[in-house]
């Protein structure tokens, strides 16, 4: 019979009667991959976006932006149409004494006697048309400045935001962006608009000047 001194050691995890049971070993942490490994770029809570993105959203594509531009032009024309009609009606009497004269080359020329056209109705009509254009422009500018979306952009699901904080551009940036787009980006075959096709951030010239981006919403 073996003596206590020569008895084999107890198996692992053995606890003598009367002693508290030993806690089981802690489970190994899940494998986190090699150092520096992370999720593939572009993945997040919503999955792969399929388009370039930045901190405040995914960039809007050329088709969506073009659709928004055309829709806004149509809406602006519809809003300005009543002013245009009234202005034309006011201007017509100014040319009552004028006649169209056929030319030898087959064209016609409007010929007016001295004192015609009448300046008063002509000025009134031009003023009404100009006022309508101004009011429509301010209306669309306000939507862009406060919300980053006009009616056309809302339908196309795109939004203009600031690069630094993702918020709507505000009055200053909105006015500067529209003016630059009208007088610079829109010249030379609309090169300033088409610039987004090869820019890595899909920005136009007026986006770069105003510090804005157009994102999908």
Q: Which of 57, 71, 87, 66 is nearest to 155 (CA)?
A: 71
Q: CA angle, 76 as apex, 75 and 82 as ends, to 5°?
A: 100
pLDDT one-digit tens code per residue, 167-197 = 999 999 999 999 999 999 988 889 999 999 9
- The predicted model scores a pTM of 0.69
For all residues of the chain together, what is the average pLDDT?
82
pLDDT of residue 129: 96
**Cβ-contact 201, 213 below 8 angstroms:** yes
**Residues 6+ away with beta carbon under 8 Å from 134:** none
Q: Mean pLDDT highest for which of 16-20, 102-106, 207-211?
A: 207-211
pLDDT one-digit tens code per residue, 117-133 = 888 889 999 999 999 99
pLDDT of residue 193: 94
pLDDT of residue 35: 56
pLDDT of residue 34: 55
Is the per-residue pLDDT at 38 higher than 60? Answer: no
Domain boundaries of the chain, sorted by first residue: 60-216
pLDDT of residue 104: 79
Of 26-30, 145-149, 179-183, least confident by mean pLDDT is 26-30
């Amino acid at each position: 019979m073996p003596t206590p001194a020569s008895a084999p050691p107890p198996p692992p995890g053995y606890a003598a009667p009367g002693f508290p049971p030993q806690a089981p070993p802690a489970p190994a942490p899940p494998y986190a991959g090699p150092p520096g490994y992370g999720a593939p770029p572009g993945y997040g809570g919503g999955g792969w976006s399929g388009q370039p993105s930045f901190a405040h959203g995914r960039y809007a594509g050329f088709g969506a932006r073009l659709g928004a531009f055309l829709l806004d032009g149509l809406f602006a024309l519809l809003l300005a149409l009543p002013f245009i009609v009234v202005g034309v009606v006011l201007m017509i009497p100014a040319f009552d004494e004028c006649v169209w004269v056929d030319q030898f080359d087959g064209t016609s020329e409007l010929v007016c006697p001295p004192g015609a056209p009448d300046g008063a109705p002509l000025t009134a009509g031009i003023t009404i048309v100009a006022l309508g254009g101004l009011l429509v422009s301010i209306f669309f500018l306000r939507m862009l400045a406060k919300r980053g979306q006009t009616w056309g952009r809302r339908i196309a699901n795109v939004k203009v935001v600031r690069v630094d904080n993702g918020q709507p551009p505000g009055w200053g940036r909105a006015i500067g962006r529209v003016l630059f787009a009208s007088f610079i980006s829109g010249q030379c075959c609309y090169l300033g608009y088409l610039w987004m096709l090869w820019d890595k951030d899909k920005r136009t010239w007026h986006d770069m000047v105003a510090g804005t981006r157009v994102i999908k919403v």
